[in-house]
Amino acid sequence: MTTHSTDAFRQAISRTNGVAEVPARWVKEHLGEFDFVDVREPHELKGPLGAAEGTTNVPLAELLATLGARKPDHPVVLICRSGSRSGRAVAQMESLGFTCVASVEGGTIAWNKEVLGRTGAQTCEKAATADSLADAIYNTNGVAEVSTRWVHDNLGSFRLIDVRESSERESREGYVLQSEHVPLGRLLQAAQGWDKEAPYVVMCKSGGRSARGTMALRKAGFTNVASMEGGMMGWNAAGLPKA
């Protein structure tokens, strides 16, 4: 990439809440002038939103684990579903010294609308809901997790599975009203009749059992499942409503 092109790349960047972003239309017009990386999981690329032209799929966790192999001054544009994951990755890369990196504003949703003219790309509610959970997930020691605040703010858009024992739900810890009670020991048996592509969040007291449950479900083929970080203890510490 020439110095002129690099300057044009940097001039195209705007910042939203501190995150470097470029418009989808600009990306389309300058394909080939930078590495274009889709940080979603492979199964998401098969959904109704598809994948943007010219992208290479490198899931977020893999990208962050291999940054040492990338040149800090080489231009990179990242894209995900809506800009959330790619924005987090850009912020982390900049903190590590990468000087020419940006996220596609609005993600693949914006690409569909602004580049392809597909205003109905989000009409598949099941896929949109699952992707929103995917956007909220972060990886902690190999476990897919979401925050208690995100769970509270998005109740109803996924199934919330409480894997504690009955006595724990009846204790002063309480339980989340919208949760379904399936003790950890019966989780896989109960899940045999569940839709493996639907979104699920697993919770327990502090996050240990829900992490094990999440990993077990993922191993069984569930593609959109995460553990609620901090469990019911974290929920109560945040002052969120309980039954």
- The Cα–Cα gap between 105 and 82 comes to 8
For residue 60, the model assigns a pLDDT of: 87
For residue 56, the model assigns a pLDDT of: 95
Which token pair is 52?
Answer: 């943007």
Domain layout of the chain by residue ranges: 3-115, 125-237
For residue 243, the model assigns a pLDDT of: 81
Q: What is the DSSP letter of 55?
A: -
Q: What is the dihedral of CA 25, 29, 31, 32, to 10 degrees?
A: -160
For residue 5, the model assigns a pLDDT of: 65
For residue 222, the model assigns a pLDDT of: 95
For residue 41, the model assigns a pLDDT of: 80
Q: What is the dihedral of CA 131, 45, 40, 184, to 10 degrees?
A: 50
Q: What is the DSSP letter of 118?
A: -
135: CB partners within 8 A, 6+ apart: 80, 81, 82, 84, 85
For residue 121, the model assigns a pLDDT of: 52
Do residues 231 and 145 lie in contact, with contact meaning Cβ atoms separated by under 8 Å? no
Closest CA to 103 of 117, 128, 84: 84
Helix axes 84-95, 125-136, angle to 10 degrees: 20
For residue 50, the model assigns a pLDDT of: 83
Which token pair is 8?
Answer: 């044009």
φ, ψ for residue 235, nearest 5 deg: -60, -50
Q: With respect to CATH, is domain 125-237 assigned 3.40.630.30?
A: no
For residue 119, the model assigns a pLDDT of: 61
Q: With respect to CATH, is domain 3-115 assigned 3.60.21.10?
A: no
For residue 45, the model assigns a pLDDT of: 80
Do residues 176 and 242 lie in contact, with contact meaning Cβ atoms separated by under 8 Å? yes
For residue 97, the model assigns a pLDDT of: 94
Q: Which amino acid is at 234?
A: G
Q: What is the DSSP letter of 196?
A: T
Closest CA to 101 of 24, 165, 180, 22: 22
pLDDT (tens, 9 = 90+) of the chain, 243 residues, equals 444 467 888 899 998 778 899 999 999 999 999 999 999 888 778 767 789 999 999 988 889 888 999 999 999 999 988 788 898 899 999 999 999 999 999 888 889 888 988 765 544 434 444 457 887 888 877 888 888 888 888 888 889 999 999 999 999 999 999 999 999 999 999 999 899 988 999 999 999 999 999 999 999 999 999 999 889 998 988 888 998
Q: ∠ at Cα 238 (236, 239), nearest 5°?
A: 65
- The Cα–Cα gap between 154 and 133 comes to 9
For residue 120, the model assigns a pLDDT of: 57
Do residues 86 and 78 lie in contact, with contact meaning Cβ atoms separated by under 8 Å? yes
- The Cα–Cα gap between 51 and 43 comes to 11
- The Cα–Cα gap between 130 and 134 comes to 6
Identify how many contiguous H helices and E strands the chain contains and give both numbers: 11, 12
Residue 139, strand partner residues? 144
